[in-house]
Structure 1
Amino acid sequence: MNATLAQCTLTAVLTLAALPALAGDPSVCKTPLPKNVQKMVQSFDDCARAGDPVTACEKLQLNARVYDNAQGLLPKLGALGPKYWRAAPRLLGSPQGLVYLVQEASKGKPIGKRYYTADQFASFCQIP
């Protein structure tokens, strides 16, 4: 009986460890952003608010896409309202990228939060 209990406990622990944690806001970026990322922030500030961010960002040499937050590293969003948009340099293999929380339905599409990833969207820090 103890072996069964131990096996069930181990299974439960492993299952919980595999689930993504309920993410809160990542911590604020501790170091200054690289100069090329600072430029990317300025560009993405403009194109993320556009009616068609994908096309607007292409003109600024950024790849922009809706970010699904599948790994659960950023706070969960409801089905309606804000969306996460991600942008990365058009250079293939660039590890740097941005994710913005954008209020889609609002006039001017206000940006709620900005996040930066230096490791291909495996972790984030919040841009102040």
Structure 2
Amino acid sequence: MVVAYLCIALLGLLLTLGGFYVSLIRGKTNVVGGVPKPLDDKLHKAIRAHGNACEYNVFIALTFYILSQHQPPTWLLICMIWLTIARYAHFFGLLFCETMAKPNLLRFFGAGSTFVAGSLMCISLAMVILG
């Protein structure tokens, strides 16, 4: 349970600090609404990194919580850690890329791992629910 709860906390921290970072950049650039168009714009990248985390992290955290209530096996705890690392990798891959128009290793690892580990988590959740 500790591993799942720690991963949930880390995913929540990514959301919270990501939103704070977007607010800081908005303040510095005096852009209070909208998303700048260029794919290399710092604010655009921060908004997308935060938005993508919002799209995935809440569901992932909920999945972690439910699975943690059913004494998950070690491989599933490792999967939770892997998925948490993947979400951070994807976040920073978006945030620190030269431009979002070009792929980079962090984004590739983060997105690919999210799809694979996330699917494993969902299958495990279905198996727990179905007994």
Regarding TM over 0.5, the answer is no
Instruction: Tell me which interval the TM-score lies in, with the shorter structure as reference length.
Output: under 0.3
Structure number with the higher strand fraction is 1
Which structure has the higher relative contact order (CA within 8 Å, separation 6+)? 2
TM-score if structure 1 supplies the norm length? Answer: 0.24
TM-score if structure 2 supplies the norm length? Answer: 0.24
Q: Which structure is larger by alpha-carbon Rg, 1 or 2?
A: 1
